[in-house]
Structure 1
């Protein structure tokens, strides 16, 4: 039986951080399900690094159909979870269904992949005990978010702590997916 992985995202997700994991999971024979606050066509964005800028730039990306709304997600149906970054995490974290979804994966010790701004989503839990004593990385602008969870911020761009795989940004996707797939198998 193939593995089933949930991808939690929304509008303004970084296009590579959604598409790369999605197609990589399909390539491995996994079932990949994209969930968003409501089932809809999502608008992704392209973040890039430009010399001389202190932050990234953003342009519209591709359209992407989600398969299911958060309210309809039954987390026990899934073997793993991936949370892409971009700006989507800053608003999906306020969805009332998000804590129950996240809590399931963390309590069941299933593989969780969080890249870029995804660490912001974990603020929805209110209970930071899942992260106390752990180490994770994220986009450098999210260092405070990681530390507010009670985790230590790893300077390296890819970090694995138990079943939690975290990455800095889209250039880290090859290693991020390699490590996530190791845990999933």
Structure 2
């Protein structure tokens, strides 16, 4: 039976951090399921850097349909979880279903991949013991979020700690997906 991977996201996900994992999962012959707060066509964004700006810029990108709403996710059906970055993490973490979904993957020690701003989603958990003594990375603006979880912030742009794969941003996607897929096999 083919493995099934859940992608937890919403509007304003960084386009590369959603599309690249989605298609890599399909390329491996696995089933990729996109879940969002409501089943809908999602708007993605492009984050890029412009000379003389101290932060990234954001522009609209491609649209992609989600397959189901967070409320309809049965986490036990999935073998792994990927959380793309962008601005989606800052608001999907407010959904009442997100803690239930995250807890399943962390408690069952299934592979979890979180890239860029995805570390913000973990703030939905009341219990941060999952991250105590662990090391993760994220986009540098999320360093405080990682440390607030009780994890050490890795300066490396890609980090694997047990079954948790974290990446700094979209340029790290090749290594991020390689490490995530290794954990699935």
Normalising by structure 2, we get a TM-score of 0.99
Task: Verify: 1:51 aligned to 2:44, yes or no.
Answer: no
Distance 2:159 2:173 in 1: 12
Distance 2:153 2:50 in 1: 24
Distance 1:51 1:102 in 2: 37
Name the residue aligned to 2:62: 62
How far did 1:2 drift? 1.1
Root-mean-square deviation over aligned CA pairs: 0.5
Task: Verify: 1:100 aligned to 2:104, yes or no.
Answer: no
Distance 1:182 1:35 in 2: 23
Q: What does 1:1-185 correspond to in 2, within 5 Å? A: 1-185=1-185
How far did 1:51 drift? 2.4
Distance 1:85 1:154 in 2: 17
How far did 1:53 drift? 1.5
Tell me which stretches of 4 or more aligned residues in structure 1 moved more than 3 Å: none
How many residues are paired up?
185
Distance 1:86 1:46 in 2: 8
Distance 2:175 2:154 in 1: 15
Gaps of 5+ in 1: none
Normalising by structure 1, we get a TM-score of 0.99
